[in-house]
Amino acid sequence: MSLALFIEQLLNGVQFGLMLFLMSAGLTLVFGVMGLINLAHGSLYMIGAFFCAAAAAATGSFWLGLVAGLAAAAAAGAIIEITVIRRLYDRDHLDQVLATFALILILSEGVRMIFGPFPLYLNVPDSLRGTIDLGITQYSLYRLTLIGFGIAVAVGLWLLIARTRLGIRIRAGENDREMIAALGVNIRVLYTVVFALGAALAGLAGALVGAIQSVQVGMGEPVLILAFVVIVIGGIGSIKGAMVGALMVGVIDTMGRFLLPRFFATFLEPSQAMGVGAALASMLIYVLMALVLVLRPKGLFPAHA
């Protein structure tokens, strides 16, 4: 195992973690501000990817596709919030789970109706093809761009929440729902905006990842469940927790898949080592989650202490 390969995998882990952060940030915001668990967040990720792939294929421009994916996810988020989600804020978690589970069925089949049953393919834009020399290793330019995107969005989100009027309202809403209503803020509009913002982040992640995976129905839910793991580790409602949790999950999952089979290969037959290593690697982040639960049941950065 060379150092170059190790660094490359580490960067892959960071890239994966940052994409998970885009998913988790929306989820944790929606929970922190509105107290809602949204299973259909993965569907917004899928919608972003599909609209990006379709628009990119139609216009020939990845960047136009990206804008389309982002806009479609945000619009879908706003529509869903106004028609369905709004009725769920006062309901218990079971109703929220069921209604958003129903939304997954509707949105997945809806996408299948519009785009057909086959996966779409989204190509990496020409300007970002190939690799870049980082000194120690050659690294995919596109993945490096994803890392840049992730960091930029994280900084942007931090500025939004720490510095803007909208951010003040979001933070107020997290602390005290009645207070924010008393401040004269139109809470219905605020909730729609927050939900659409979360949806846009999920759509962005879906569109960006769509270029390195196939774009297909059902792509959102595995990522959604990983985002849940991230939030449980980081603490529900905490953006900072989402960032730390996402990076931990991204890096540990990627490095586990890379290192564990190699570790077992030192004392098992190669084929057996691959199997055992892969199976155990797939469980690593859940073991991490269980550990956090035992030591810090409210996550690493509990927002509502």
Partner 1 sequence: MREMRREHMLNVLLAVALFAVPLWAYFASEPFVITLATRVAILAMAGVGLNLALGLGGMVSFGHAVFFGLGGYCAGVLAHHAFSGTPVLMGLPGTNQMLVIWLVAMLTSGLLALVIGALSLRTSGIFFIMITLAFAQMFFYFALSWPAYGGEDGLPIFVRNQFPGLNTMRPWELFVVAYGLLMLVLALFAVIRASRFGAALMAIRQNPDRAAAVGISPFGVKLVAFVISGMITGMAGAMMADLTRFVSPAMMAWQMSGELIVIIILGGTGRLFGPVAGAAILVGFEVIFGGMTEHWKFWLGLVLLAVVLFARGGFVGLLAGRDRHG
Give me the 169-208 binding string for partner 1, x by CB under 8 A, dash otherwise.
----------------------------------------
- Provide the 3-class DSSP secondary structure of residue 133: strand
CB of 115 to partner 1, least distance (A): 13
Q: Which one of 225, 262, 269, 270 is in contact with partner 1 (CB under 8 A)? A: 225
Site for partner 1 in 30-89 (CB under 8 A): 31, 37, 84, 87
Q: Which one of 60, 135, 184, 297 is in contact with partner 1 (CB under 8 A)? A: 297
Nearer to partner 1, 17 or 65 (CB): 17
Report yes or no: 37 and 93 within 8 Å, Cβ to Cβ: yes
Q: Based on C-alpha coordinates, what's the Rg of the chain?
A: 20
Q: Which one of 221, 239, 273, 303 is in contact with partner 1 (CB under 8 A)? A: 221
Report yes or no: 50 and 204 within 8 Å, Cβ to Cβ: no
Angle between helices 3-34 and 165-175 (to 10 degrees): 70
Nearer to partner 1, 3 or 294 (CB): 294
Burial class (CB in 10 A: 0-12, 13-18, 19+), 168: middle
Nearer to partner 1, 179 or 290 (CB): 290
DSSP assignments along 179-211, one per residue: HHHHTT--HHHHHHHHHHHHHHHHHHHHHHHHT
Nearer to partner 1, 56 or 107 (CB): 107
Reading the block at residue 28, the tokens are: 């944790």
- Provide the 3-class DSSP secondary structure of residue 267: coil
262 binds partner 1 (CB under 8 A): no
Q: To which H or E segment does residue 138 belong?
A: strand 138-140
DSSP conformation class of 158: H
Nearer to partner 1, 203 or 299 (CB): 299
**How many residues contact partner 1, by CB under 8 A?**
42
Residues that bind partner 1 (CB under 8 A): 31, 37, 84, 87, 93-95, 97-99, 101-106, 108-110, 112-113, 221-222, 225, 228-229, 231-232, 236, 275, 278-279, 282-283, 286-287, 289-290, 293-294, 297-298
